Amino acid sequence: MAHSITLFQDSPLTLALGGELSPIEVAYQTYGKLNADKSNAVLLCHALTGDAEPYKNVPEQGWWQDFIGAGLAFDTDRYFFICSNVLGGCKGTTGPSSINQQTNKPYGSLFPVITVQDIVQVQKALLDALGISHLHAVVGGSFGGMQATQWGITYPDSVDNIINLCSSLTFSAKAIGFNHVMRQAIINDPNFNNGDYYEGLPPDNGLKIARMLGMLTYRTDVQLARAFGRETKQQSEILGDYFQVESYLSYQGVKFLDRFDANSYLRLLRALDLYDPALGYANEQEALQRIKAKYTLVGVTSDQLFKQIDLHKSKQRLENAGVQVNYYEFHSNFGHDAFLVDYAFFEPMLKKGLAGKK
């Protein structure tokens, strides 16, 4: 069970694109032991729909369940790991479904637009509250990789190593297009009500469709072909779940409803689209030049969301700004989701990144 802390009670969080939030509840979890000089702290940043518990001591597994433990990639005998649910989420940290103290109702449509910069500022406030002023490393995959990069920009003197898995510096036009279609599915659901649906029926159909589309961007054609091919269901309707792959996507859509809020999905998708390291600086070069940490970047050649060409461009832009980059790439049939499940490939790179080695 994640811990909870209330931040920004006396002074509100000023958001990068305008507006304020106060107070902010933050759900977080820790693993391992903080050493005497507090030099072994590592922040883990979750992807779009993750939570504060990458490892769980219950039958339900965390999203990095096989990566965390004694002697593993995230070695709890060596490091002290902290992970928090992001601002705007729905797993314990303040988001659109949280109660707005000014109205005593869920924020809904009143929840402001947030950015990765805002998310990182809340993470820094959490660490300050925990008495941790310096991080040995910040690690994140996908949306979490953007957070890790932003840590190096916003707090260059507070982190020694950045590990970015399967994430480019900015989202591509095609990826933004996928997110646009997902958003349209949600906001055009008859129950959406401009985001103020908490006293009525939620936009479940729209959210299911959005999740199904999202799953197709996380998987590869090879993986889907091996798992399902063109197999059909024994009992099926021609306009329903006729093929096994359709049944799988429908199942994933329904399962998603149990753990995520449509408004949070909308806000976090937009934060993903909007991420721009240059925000608040004259240009991207000026922002990236602030990074002092050693930077590990890992790409998957089969990733259909953060494509290989975008990772190569990001590497070049980082190096042009003087960032010390160790770049690795490999093929995995898991595509974008490889950073969550392909332990054998990622373990050596994570260990090298945490050790600050090539």
* Active site members: 142, 303, 336
Residue 44's nearest CA partner among 52, 36, 35, 32 is: 52
Name 145's Cβ contacts closer than 8 Å, sequence gap at least 6: 45, 164, 165, 166, 167
Burial (CB < 10 A; 0-12, 13-18, 19+), residue 66, is middle
The answer to whether 259 is annotated as binding is no
* Contact present, 28 and 2 (Cβ < 8 Å): yes
The answer to whether 342 is annotated as binding is no
Helix/strand/coil for 209: helix
Q: In degrees to the nearest 10, what's the CA dihedral of 197, 200, 204, 210?
A: -10
How many CB atoms sit inside 10 A of residue 172's CB?
A: 15
* Contact present, 322 and 352 (Cβ < 8 Å): no
Please report where in the chains the tokens 């329903």 appear, as a residue.
Answer: 240
- Give CA–CA dist 216/335, Å, rounded: 10
Cite the DSSP H helix spans in the chain. 116-129, 143-154, 173-187, 204-218, 221-227, 244-257, 262-274, 284-288, 308-320, 338-341, 343-355
What are residue 125's DSSP bridge partners? none
- Give CA–CA dist 180/159, Å, rounded: 34
What letter represents residue 143's amino acid?
Answer: F
* Contact present, 293 and 322 (Cβ < 8 Å): no
* Contact present, 167 and 151 (Cβ < 8 Å): no
Dihedrals φ, ψ of 302, to 5°? Answer: -95, 5
Q: Which residues contribute to the annotated binding site for substrate? A: 211, 337
Where is the binding site, in residues?
211, 337
